Structure formats: C-alpha cells, structure tokens
C-alpha cells in the first residue's frame, strides 16, 4: 500500500505502541478474559480514541483511512483490544460525532476521546441480530425523560463501558426507532450476563438491561425515528475498519508462520522447502495483499464521500473470510504446535472467526452485495 508520510508515521507510531504495550500481555488477557482499562487510557493519550472526531471536541480529526491503519496495527498484535477500540471509536464515538447535536458532542466527546470514559453501542437483541429492525427494546416518552425497557445482547465493552449509544423502538412501524445516549449511572440501567467466547476473549461482551431506564429527552439523537439514517451513515466506516482488524490478524498469522517455516526442520531441511507449505505461504500473502488493497480502496472511497454499502460489504466479507483462512493455514504450517497454546496462531484463528459474524454476518454481506448487483432484475424483491 502506498501511504503518505503522515500515514506511514501513524502506522509506525501505533505499531511501536502495540509492540510495547499490547504484545506482552496479549496471551494472558486472552486466557483470563481480562480487559486492561489502562491500555484504553494510553490509546487516549496517543489521540486514537477519537481518531475521526474534530479537534474541537478532543479528537484527532483524521479519516477512515487513518482509522483503518490503526485497526490493522492493533489487530496484528491484540485483536481483542482492537475490537474494543472499534466498538468505542467507531460504533459509539464516530456515530455520535456524525449524528449528535452540538450539546451532545460537547458533553460526551471530550471524555470519550481522552479515555476517561469507555463507549459502546447497543443494537443487537436476543431476538434481533441480522434482523436488526426486529428489535423490541422500547422507548416511551414520559415528561422530560424516555423510559427504556428491554435487553441488548452481545454488546462489546458492555461490562466496562460508561456510555452507550443505544437503539430503541419508539413506535410499531418497522423503522420507528430512536437513538439514545445512555450513561451507565442512569436509573434503570444495568449490565446483564457476561458472555464467554471462543475468541476476542479480552474484549468484554455482555448484555445490557433496561428496566424503566430514565434517559433525559435531550439524549435522543436527532429526531424520533431517524435511527436508520444514523445506522446507515456509520455502516461504511464500521465495515471498512473491521476489515482493517481482519487484515491485522492475517498479517500476524502469516508473519509468524512464514518465520516458523524457515526454522522448523523435517527431513533434514526447513519445512519451507516443501512446495505444499510454500503454496500456503504464497496463498496467505497474496490473499492478505488483495484484502488490504480492497480495504484501503474502500477507506479512500469513504474519505472521498463515495463509499457505498456494496463496497463496504464486499470489503468486510472478503477480509473476514481471508483472515480465518490465513489463520487456519498458519496452524497447518505449524502442525501440532499450531494447535497448542504454546504459539499464538490458534488465538489468531479464534479471533478471526468473529470477523465473519460481528457487524453483519458474511451471509448478510452477500445479501447486500447481491441485492445491489441484481437490483435491475427485480427491485421490489424483499431479501
Ligand atoms: C463478540 C461479539 C461482539 C459483538 N458486538 C456487538 C456490539 O458491540 N453491539 C451490537 O449491537 N452487536 C454486537 N454483536 C452482535 C452481532 O452484530 C450479531 O451477532 C450479528 O449481527 C448476527 O446476529 P445473531 O448473532 O443474532 O445471528 P442471527 O441473525 O440469528 O444469524 C444466525 C445465522 O443465520 C444467518 N442468517 C440470518 N438471516 C439471514 C438471511 N436473511 N439470509 C441468510 N442467512 C441469514 C446468519 O448469517 C447466521 O449464519 C457482537 C457479536 C459478537 C459475537
């Protein structure tokens, strides 16, 4: 990828940070499912937590390409930290920065950009995942507050977050959904069950429970029923940056397995001499490079206001499946050692798998792509 000097510097700064601060504890955090809040404060000190937020609110005023560079560098060292960072900086902070009012931005963004507060986003519910407009959490206006009732699930940073951008139904029409800014101290808000996962184990995931949760009416983002617009405006950058994490995981897996294949000897020579091992190495590299090219192409489209759901979905599905495949190949290259916890490649594979599920599954990405490409056949068809 051809980056500008500033982009090269950003990548190097984050890579050095990740090597120094994230690498040493990555395996332990994964094993113990532990989240290190201090790391978040350090990400804030580096100016990364509000990477796309204008400087007047405490952000760095950078773009989707910069955010994708950061995701790849963090993802290559500790994908869990990268996921929690994505939930904070893209799903919550970027969304608020794009859709929030002046007062809302002034009130919340500085704390979120510094790392004083951790953010998350609550959309998914037990009965509404891919079918997100099927959500049941309700918001009813009572005087100066909205009363929220319902449960969100799979919420990244759920148990450690101070602030959540949440979606709730405000009427019976399918798209009658409002976006609400919820502080963890609000009456009627609590964190529910913590979920134990296959991968991304150092990124806490939990339920959020709303029981007559009192949200001040000033914390409605925009107007009632505008949520679909908020979601849509954020989707492209979310999917491109999540592809950045996939690329980071793949890079870590291929770097590790390439090196291993030069050191591990069988039949009196390094295993890298064997052509079937070379095939995996060549496939890993070419698929990673193709994914990276597509990802930064999409990031540039987003930066040039030319992003589309089609391209973001194509980028996300390709990068996610590439990362799982590269990580599986890396395990294969390491043989039995790849299957043990002595080496990090099994973690890479467990972390990569989430990329095919979170922020829209690979099946949903393919629906979006096919719907766009085939719309001339039948634009009325309800996928
Ligand atoms: C670790 C983790 C972190 C997450 N973080 C967040 C977060 O911070 N905030 C948040 O709101 N959500 C979050 N999610 C939720 C995530 O976005 C959902 O899990 C995802 O959208 C899929 O929803 P689901 O799990 O309910 O699966 P379902 O929608 O039940 O899907 C199950 C299967 O059916 C397939 N399927 C569903 N509909 C169709 C269709 N129309 N055509 C073809 N196949 C279909 C799916 O592709 C999948 O294979 C997170 C999830 C995980 C696992």
CA of 102 to the centre of ligand 1 (A): 32
Provide mean pLDDT across the span 370-377. 89
The DSSP secondary structure of 281-328, one letter per residue, reads HHHHHHHHHHHHHHHHHHHHHHHTT---HHHHHHHHHHHHHHHHHHHH
* 228-373 under CATH 1.20.140.10, yes or no: yes
Tell me the pLDDT band of 230, cut-offs 50, 70 and 90. Answer: confident
DSSP state of 164: E
Q: Is residue 21 among the annotated active site residues?
A: no
Residue the block writes with tokens 């994914």: 291
Point out the ligand 1 atom lying closest to the alpha carbon of residue 132. 21
Q: CA-CA distance, 145 to 193, in Å (whole number)? A: 26
pLDDT in tens, 164-223: 999 999 999 999 999 999 999 999 999 999 999 999 999 999 999 999 999 999 999 999
Name the phi and psi angles at 202, rounded to 5. -90, 5
pLDDT in tens, 63-85: 999 999 999 999 999 999 999 99
Q: CA-CA distance, 297 to 304, in Å (whole number)? A: 11
Is the pLDDT score of 382 beyond 80?
no
Q: Which CATH number fits domain 5-118: 3.90.480.20, 1.10.540.10, 3.30.479.10, 3.50.30.30?
A: 1.10.540.10
Tell me the pLDDT band of 236, cut-offs 50, 70 and 90. Answer: very high
DSSP state of 250: H
3-state class of 225 per DSSP? coil
* From 207, 238, 346, 356, the catalytic residue: 238
Tell me the pLDDT band of 378, cut-offs 50, 70 and 90. Answer: low
Backbone dihedral region of 190: left (phi > 0), alpha (psi from -120 to 50 degrees) or beta? beta
CB atoms within 10 A of CB 289: 15
Assigned CATH for 121-226: 2.40.110.10
pTM: 0.97
Q: CA-CA distance, 250 to 366, in Å (whole number)? A: 21
With 0-12 / 13-18 / 19 or more C-beta atoms within 10 angstroms meaning exposed / middle / buried, residue 250 is: buried
Q: What angle do CA 54, 293, 278 make, to 5 degrees?
A: 140
Provide mean pLDDT across the span 310-320. 97
Whole-number pLDDT of residue 383:
43
Whole-number pLDDT of residue 232:
86
Mean pLDDT of the chain: 96
Residue ranges lining ligand 1, Cβ < 6 Å: 87, 91, 120-124, 129-130, 154-156, 197, 200, 205, 354, 357-361, 363-364, 367
Going by C-alpha positions, the residue among 260, 291, 225 that lies closest to residue 68 is 291
CA of 357 to the centre of ligand 1 (A): 6
Whole-number pLDDT of residue 380:
56
Both tokens of 355, joined, read 């990329």
Provide mean pLDDT across the span 26-36. 98
CB atoms within 10 A of CB 55: 12
**Which stretch of 1-10, 105-114, 316-325 has the lowest confidence by average pLDDT?**
1-10
Each domain of the chain, given as residue ranges in start order, spans 5-118, 121-226, 228-373
Point out the ligand 1 atom lying closest to the alpha carbon of residue 124. 11
Provide mean pLDDT across the span 345-365. 98
Which residue has the CA at smallest separation from atom 45 of ligand 1? 363
């Amino acid at each position: 990828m051809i980056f500008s000097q500033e982009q090269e510097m950003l990548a190097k700064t984050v890579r050095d940070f990740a090597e120094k601060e994230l690498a040493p504890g990555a395996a332990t955090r994964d094993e113990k499912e532990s989240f290190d809040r201090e790391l978040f404060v350090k990400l804030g000190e580096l100016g990364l937590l509000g990477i796309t937020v204008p400087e007047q609110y405490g952000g760095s005023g950078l773009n989707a390409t910069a955010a994708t560079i950061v995701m790849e560098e963090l993802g290559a060292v500790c994908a869990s930290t990268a996921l929690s960072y994505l939930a904070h900086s893209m799903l919550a902070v970027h969304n608020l920065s794009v859709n929030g009012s002046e007062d809302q931005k002034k009130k919340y963004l500085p704390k979120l950009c510094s790392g004083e507060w951790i953010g998350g986003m609550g959309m998914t519910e037990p009965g509404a995942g891919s079918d997100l407009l099927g959500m049941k959490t309700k918001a009813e206006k009572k005087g100066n507050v909205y009363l929220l009732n319902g449960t969100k699930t799979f919420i990244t940073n759920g148990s450690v977050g101070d602030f959540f951008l949440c979606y709730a139904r405000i009427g019976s029409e399918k798209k009658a959904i409002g976006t609400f800014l919820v502080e963890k101290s609000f009456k009627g808000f609590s964190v529910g069950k913590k979920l134990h996962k296959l991968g991304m184990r150092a990124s806490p995931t939990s339920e959020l429970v709303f029981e007559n949760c009192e949200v001040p009416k000033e914390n409605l983002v925009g107007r009632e029923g505008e949520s679909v617009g908020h979601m849509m405006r954020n989707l492209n950058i979310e999917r491109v940056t999540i592809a950045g994490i996939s690329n980071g995981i793949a890079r870590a897996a291929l770097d590790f397995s390439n090196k291993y294949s030069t050191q591990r000897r069988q039949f009196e020579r390094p295993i890298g001499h064997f052509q079937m091992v070379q095939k995996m190495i060549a496939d890993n590299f070419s698929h990673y490079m193709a994914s990276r090219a597509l990802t930064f192409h999409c990031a540039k489209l987003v930066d040039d206001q030319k992003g589309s759901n089609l391209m973001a979905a194509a980028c996300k599905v390709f990068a996610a499946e590439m990362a799982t495949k590269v990580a599986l190949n890396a395990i294969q290259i390491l043989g039995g050692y790849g299957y043990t916890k002595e080496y990090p490649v099994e973690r890479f594979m467990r972390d990569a798998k989430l990329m095919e599920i979170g922020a829209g599954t690979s099946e949903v990405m393919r629906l979006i792509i096919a719907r766009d490409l085939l719309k001339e056949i039948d634009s009325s068809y309800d996928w």
